[in-house]
Amino acid sequence: MKAALSSCRRHFLSSLIFSALMNLLYIGPVLYMLQVYDRVVAGQGRLTLLFLTIIIAVVIGTLSLLELVRSRLLVRASIRLDRQLAGQLLDTTLSGRGSTGERMNKQVLREFDTLRQALTGPTILSIFDFPWSPVYVLVCFLIHPAIAALAVVGGGALLFIAWRNEKGTNAPLKQANEAANKAYVSQEQTLAGAEVIRALGMRHALVRRHLLERQTMLSLQANASFAGGHYVAISKFIRLILQSLALGLGAWLAINNQISAGAIFASSFLVGRALSPIDQLLGAWRSVVHARASYATLNDLLATREADIALTRLPPPNGHIAVEHLTHFIPGQERPILADISFAVEPGEVVAIVGPSGAGKSTLLRMLSGAARPLRGSIRFDGANVQDWDTERLAAFIGYLPQDTSLFAGTIKENIARFQNFLSEEDEAIDNAVIEAARLSGAHDMILQLPGGYNRTLGWGGRGLSAGQAQRVGLARALYGTPPLVFLDEPNAHLDAEGEVRLVATLDDLKKKKASVIIVAHRMGILGVVDKIMVMRDGRLETFGPRDEVLGRLKAIRSEEQPKAQTAEG
């Protein structure tokens, strides 16, 4: 974060210098006013007036030019910040290393935009103008110490209000921002599930829920506005009244022959300019608070990134899997969802994980595929701990089909190619790999039958396919690039009989290609091709061994349990 900001240092520094120059040039109209009233009008100097007017036109022209350059510089800084940080932030969020929670994950770029806009918009300009208040007070002093005293009193009053504002509005503003973020994320989630909401008659209930969330948000925003609003109003009142008072004081001093007539208007202008940066900063305080909070959160998030940097590029794994003492907990829950799991799989082996619902099968697969990280224990591919891998590089050697398939908006081809077309120009190679993966998964013919074939565009969340079709496309995506490590979570859950036969053929092909395959299965249609079976229960590995041996053991247990049950019933 700091590095990105320092890369824009030149832009910020130049903007600061331009702001300084502009503030200096703002004194030009004051001098013009003084000269016109005191020299031109009094002495009827037409030529002087012309000369002065040309100078002031140049000054104002330069001011406008500086303003233009300054705003362009800030736009450049904004684009630069976006180029440097937006990708990193999104990447870190997707890597799952940050601990900012689901809400922040969804808001990360919105938070970044808030910070970026504050750093490159009117907020930073009011901060750049702020140090110029004392300079204007000094110019007031040159006109008359009494005018400067008025500006100092006014500035002091405004600073006091700014301090009260900071104290009084910080907490309510933070709460209001939090509530707003929560309400927006919650709404997004609901809108994504609109179909189910309609079907199950949850519309009114959820509208009510969101209205309640909005009520909380609005009442917190109102609190923050009430807390800050009167400070802004008082500040504006002080600035305006002081400007008029400066005019009155100037007139009084002029009557007493202490300043010239031209200095009356100059005094009012200068007092106004001395006070306006404080006033502006007060108005922009809401965005300062928000930007400060965003900076802290985004900085924390990016701090989790560093470990990715100097990882050695390990050779592609052959498919040896060794899991040692794998354990995982959900924070706040005592019972582990995976408890001390150890096993090994060799290349070319197909392993089925079976067990009751909630046994931890999907969780184990999520850990193996890199979708989630275990809290304890290790997973090694060809001896190398997954933690020593660059996650994105390792993912190229892993095929993962999650339980809910999880396709994305885009074409079928893009989904199967894992959207690599956004990274590589080699369209033909990608197309070939997509078709090879679809053939290997048995989805090729099915895709050709669909309107648009591989170019069929799927909607939000990959909509536009039946569950079985989506599962086959998901399997093709898992097999893109023929990875040596394949983890499939219930790949036959939505398949018809023909699809299941194709799946068995796919598993056979993978075996021939010496891939290691681990499949979570409730339906036993694939058992014929399986080499080993792992039985899980309550997060523990109950049995693991060759298929027939484990099936025999399970049969024996069942036949032991049946007479017991019959006796109990009898």
Ligand X SMILES: Nc1ncnc2c1ncn2[C@@H]1O[C@H](COP(=O)(O)OP(=O)(O)OP(=O)(O)O)[C@@H](O)[C@H]1O
CB of 549 to ligand X, least distance (A): 22
CB of 124 to ligand X, least distance (A): 41
In degrees and rounded to multiples of 5, residue 401 shows phi and psi of: -115, 110
Element (H or E) spanning 378, and its range?
Answer: strand 376-381
CB of 359 to ligand X, least distance (A): 4
CB of 366 to ligand X, least distance (A): 7
Interacting span for ligand X (CB under 6 A) from 14-22, 25-33, 296-304, 353-361:
353-361
Interacting span for ligand X (CB under 6 A) from 217-225, 252-260, 358-366, 382-390:
358-366
Element (H or E) spanning 442, and its range?
Answer: none
* 361 versus 472: smaller Cβ distance to ligand X: 361
- Residues making up the chain, counted from first to last: 570
Choose which of 358, 453, 459, 528 interacts with ligand X (CB under 6 A): 358
Q: Which of 519, 537, 533 is nearest to 355 (CA)?
A: 537
492 binds ligand X (CB under 6 A): no
Answer whether 168's CB lies under 8 Å from 227's CB: yes
CB of 527 to ligand X, least distance (A): 17
CB of 535 to ligand X, least distance (A): 11
Amino acid at the residue 44: Q
119: burial class by Cβ within 10 Å (0-12, 13-18, 19+)? buried
* 391 versus 403: smaller Cβ distance to ligand X: 403
Interacting span for ligand X (CB under 6 A) from 138-146, 232-240, 359-367, 408-416:
359-367
Amino acid at the residue 455: N
Interacting span for ligand X (CB under 6 A) from 13-21, 88-96, 266-274, 355-363:
355-363
Number of chain positions touching ligand X (CB under 6 A)? 11
CB of 352 to ligand X, least distance (A): 13
Q: Residue 333, SS3?
A: coil
* 338 versus 386: smaller Cβ distance to ligand X: 338
* 167 versus 523: smaller Cβ distance to ligand X: 523
Q: Which of 312, 343, 337 is nearest to 325 (CA)?
A: 343
CB of 526 to ligand X, least distance (A): 15
330 binds ligand X (CB under 6 A): yes
22 binds ligand X (CB under 6 A): no
* 114 versus 471: smaller Cβ distance to ligand X: 471
Give the span between the Cα atoms of 412 and 472, in whole angstroms: 11
Interacting span for ligand X (CB under 6 A) from 81-89, 102-110, 351-359, 432-440:
351-359
The β-bridge relationship of strands 321-328 and 376-381 is antiparallel
Answer whether 19's CB lies under 8 Å from 129's CB: yes
359 binds ligand X (CB under 6 A): yes
* 363 versus 492: smaller Cβ distance to ligand X: 363
Helix residue ranges, H only, 383-466: 391-395, 412-416, 427-441, 444-449
323 binds ligand X (CB under 6 A): no
- DSSP state at residue 36: I
Interacting span for ligand X (CB under 6 A) from 60-68, 204-212, 356-364, 394-402:
356-364
CB of 361 to ligand X, least distance (A): 4
Q: Which of 123, 114, 174 is nearest to 281 (CA)?
A: 123
b (16+ CB within 10 A) / e for 517-544: bbbbbeeeebbebbebbbbbeebebebb
CB of 94 to ligand X, least distance (A): 17
* 396 versus 493: smaller Cβ distance to ligand X: 493
* 61 versus 358: smaller Cβ distance to ligand X: 358
Give the span between the Cα atoms of 458 and 469, in whole angstroms: 12
Using the Cα atoms of residue 201, residue 205, residue 208 and residue 212 in order, give the sign of their dihedral: negative
Q: Please report, to the nearest 10 degrees, the dihedral formed by the alpha carbons of residues 479, 480, 484, 486 taken in order.
A: -30
101 binds ligand X (CB under 6 A): no
* 62 versus 403: smaller Cβ distance to ligand X: 403
Choose which of 44, 256, 312, 357 interacts with ligand X (CB under 6 A): 357
* E strands, 245-337, in order: 321-328
* 44 versus 357: smaller Cβ distance to ligand X: 357
CB of 342 to ligand X, least distance (A): 17
* 102 versus 560: smaller Cβ distance to ligand X: 102
CA distances to 19, 109, 156, 390 from 133, in Å: 13, 35, 11, 52
Interacting span for ligand X (CB under 6 A) from 105-113, 280-288, 344-352, 354-362:
354-362
567: burial class by Cβ within 10 Å (0-12, 13-18, 19+)? exposed
CB of 330 to ligand X, least distance (A): 4
Interacting span for ligand X (CB under 6 A) from 56-64, 111-119, 282-290, 350-358:
350-358
b (16+ CB within 10 A) / e for 19-30: bbebbebbbbbb
Place of tokens 């890199």: 370
Query: Segment 362-381, which members bind ligand X (CB under 6 A)?
Result: 362-363
Query: Six-digit token pair at 168?
Result: 């009084």
Element (H or E) spanning 462, and its range?
Answer: none
360 binds ligand X (CB under 6 A): yes
* 18 versus 343: smaller Cβ distance to ligand X: 343
Query: Segment 388-417, which members bind ligand X (CB under 6 A)?
Result: 403
Cα angle: 495, vertex 499, 505; to 5 degrees = 130
361 binds ligand X (CB under 6 A): yes
* 317 versus 374: smaller Cβ distance to ligand X: 374
Query: Six-digit token pair at 5?
Result: 């900001």
Binding site for ligand X (CB under 6 A): 330, 337, 355, 357-363, 403
